[in-house]
Amino acid sequence: MTIQSSPAGITPKIPKDALEHLRTCMNRYHEITEGCWQKFQQLLTFREYARADLIYCVGEHPKSFSFIHSGLARVFHLDENGQEYNKRFFSEGEFPACMTALLTSTRSALSVECLENSAVIHIDFHGYRQLLEQSPDLMLYHIRYLEKNWLLEKDERDNAFGQTTASRRYQTFIEQLPHLAGRVPQYHIASHLGITPVQLSRLRKQLQSTE
């Protein structure tokens, strides 16, 4: 099944505050030199999406990964029965991507949908890989970002979600992502936890009754 991506408003010039936001977030992992930053900016485009627009859609060959300047998105896939499963949510300062498709030059098995109106910077993947090989500071940023977000945090999430009850998974979600608890619709949280919206409603009532 292929979902068609939604139209988005392309802005030729990237807003200054969006660029500053991106650079600040990258510098938290390793400082990007001015020379590298000037080259890096040439790989960027800026788009504004409405709620329910798709940044990336299943079946397409993505050419970029993204940075969310403002807004909220979910990464999801469909099982063989057409049921959606939310793998992860991304908010301001984070980098949603269909990374397996980018690395293997294959069609994406995932979609990325905006849950709110969102301002997004797209980063050309091919150009990024070329610059990565030429820039030690960007390479150090890349390594440290992957270590934190794709190794340590992923292992922590996988362990929490694979070895606990639904109730504990929900509590872990609230503890680790309190800033998303009130922004992500409950049925999307239920999909992420691997339970039904009715089950989630019961869990929330049970937890509220014990407070």
Report how many domains make up the chain. Answer: 1
Q: pTM for this one?
A: 0.87
- For residue 130, count other CB atoms closer than 10 A to its CB: 13
Instruction: Please give the residue range of the domain that contains residue 106.
Output: 9-134
| Range list of H helices, the chain | 16-27, 34-41, 99-104, 125-134, 136-146, 153-162, 166-176, 178-181, 186-193, 197-210
Asked whether the predicted pLDDT for residue 163 surpasses 70, the reply is: no
Residue 172, in any domain of the structure: no
The per-residue pLDDT for 207 is 80
Above 60 in pLDDT, residue 55? Answer: yes
What CATH number should be reported for the domain holding residue 113? 2.60.120.10
Decide if 97 is inside a domain: yes
Task: State percent of the chain over pLDDT 90.
Answer: 69
Examine residue 180 and state whether it is found in any structural domain, yes or no.
no
Residue 45's pLDDT band (cuts 50, 70, 90): very high
Looking at residues 9-22, what average pLDDT do you find?
83
pLDDT at 35 over 50: yes
**pLDDT top residue among 49 and 79:** 49
